Amino acid sequence: MHDITEVSSEDIKDSLRQLESTILTTTNISKDLEAEILHLQKLMNRIGQDPKESSSSRDHFADTLIRSQDVIRSVTGTTKEFAETTRHVAHEMTRIATASENIAHTFHDLKSTSSEISRFVTIVQEVASRTKMLALNARLEAERAGEYGRGFSVVADEVKLLSAESRESSESVAGAVGEFANMLDEFEKNLQDQMLSLTEEQKKLSTAGDMAGRVASDIGNMVVAINKMERILSSLEYLGTVENTLEQARISSENLRQHLQRSLELHSRLVHSTLGENSDARPGEFMQELYEAIIHENYHRSIGLVREALASGTSGNDLLGMLANTCERIMYEQKQRRLTLS
């Protein structure tokens, strides 16, 4: 489960970097397009003001028109990449959300198991208390029997000692189980926060997808404007229409630039909330320290390590995976020891 989440997280990081590159490329191309449109407007002014240069200006106008068409094709391609990358990131986030839900179910099962262990510990404590009472009664009966009860008195003392040790062990186990249950509650809360965060990121990606649609619409408007200019280029009597068309293209270009700027801002927020600041995490050292603390029954140190990891910015999914791997290692070694003893 952790492996799936880790791989998906890496895919998301790569997709976000690709998304940033696509947005920047589209922004640069849109700037070129805006410059070409301004150049077209200047040419139209020259055509209107100096009829002698009409033929030359029209040739320049046609060349600039062709360049604008090339730029529009480039913007269209990068916009498609932008939309595709956005869909890919959304898909990966959905996979992580599904994995998080499965982990949440696993935690629910662990909490149920913890409750069962607590119930068994309570039973052991009750048995220890009753054994202690029986040992006291046996001790009294041995004293009444005098010389004949001396051997039985020794047995009663041992039973009493065993009862005390059983009670101490059960109390220690109960404390450890209680701390483990608290840790599970903390993990579960962190997991829920992570799932809420994923939901928010999916909403942001949906907004980014809408922006891509608006950018595509702006490009479509510019294509229409360019086509109009091609149709009326052969006749100067439609200069006013050409100027209006150029103005429409300029407005569409400005809208494209604004949408791309908003896309960059959205991407910045998305990267900050998705990548986080835990790139310096040391999973290997953390797992080794946690393993040593658990096998030496240093439960306070175990909880301290978990809290330190959370405080340092380690994500809930990474922490859950490292904890699961450590538990698997401990259970495997215990199994090997049992096989060796048998």
Nearest to 289 by CA among 322, 249, 246: 322
Let me know: does 287 contact 251? Beta carbons within 8 Å: no
Instruction: Find the mean pLDDT for residues 4-14.
Output: 53
> What per-residue confidence (pLDDT) applies to 4?
42
Let me know: does 145 contact 152? Beta carbons within 8 Å: yes
Q: How confident is the model at residue 101 (pLDDT cuts 50, 70, 90)?
A: confident
pLDDT tens-digit map of 265-310:
555 555 455 444 444 445 556 667 877 887 777 777 777 887 787 7
Q: What are the extents of the domains in the chain?
A: 2-276, 281-342
State how far the Cα of 242 lies from the Cα of 223, in Å rounded to an integer.
Answer: 14
**Per mean pLDDT, which of 126-130, 274-278, 308-312, 317-321 is the most reliable?**
308-312
DSSP 79-104: HHHHHHHHHHHHHHHHHHHHHHHHHH
> What per-residue confidence (pLDDT) applies to 1?
43
Instruction: Give 287's DSSP letter.
Output: H
In 10 A of CB 193, how many CB atoms? 11
Is 288 or 35 the better-scoring residue by pLDDT?
288
pTM equals 0.38
Of the listed ranges 94-103, 193-202, 214-223, 319-328, the least confidently predicted one is 214-223
Nearest to 231 by CA among 245, 249, 251, 216: 245
In 10 A of CB 285, how many CB atoms? 9
Please give the CATH topology (third level) of the domain spanning 2-276: Helix Hairpins (1.10.287)
> What per-residue confidence (pLDDT) applies to 175?
72
Q: How confident is the model at residue 326 (pLDDT cuts 50, 70, 90)?
A: confident
The burial of 309, by beta-carbon neighbours within 10 Å (0-12 exposed, 13-18 middle, 19 or more buried), is given as buried
Q: Which two tokens stand for residue 322?
A: 């490292």
Instruction: Find the mean pLDDT for residues 216-234.
Output: 61
> What per-residue confidence (pLDDT) applies to 27?
61
> What per-residue confidence (pLDDT) applies to 332?
63
Q: Which two tokens stand for residue 166?
A: 């059983």
> What per-residue confidence (pLDDT) applies to 297?
72
Per cent of the chain over pLDDT 90 is: 0
> What per-residue confidence (pLDDT) applies to 281?
41
State how far the Cα of 65 lies from the Cα of 37, in Å rounded to an integer.
Answer: 8
Is 158 or 303 the better-scoring residue by pLDDT?
303
**Per mean pLDDT, which of 71-75, 152-156, 202-206, 325-329 is the most reliable?**
325-329
State how far the Cα of 72 lies from the Cα of 68, in Å rounded to an integer.
Answer: 6
Is 302 or 20 the better-scoring residue by pLDDT?
302
Q: For residue 21, what are the CA distances in angstroms to 78, 89, 227?
A: 10, 14, 30
Instruction: Find the mean pLDDT for residues 162-182.
Output: 70
> What per-residue confidence (pLDDT) applies to 37?
64
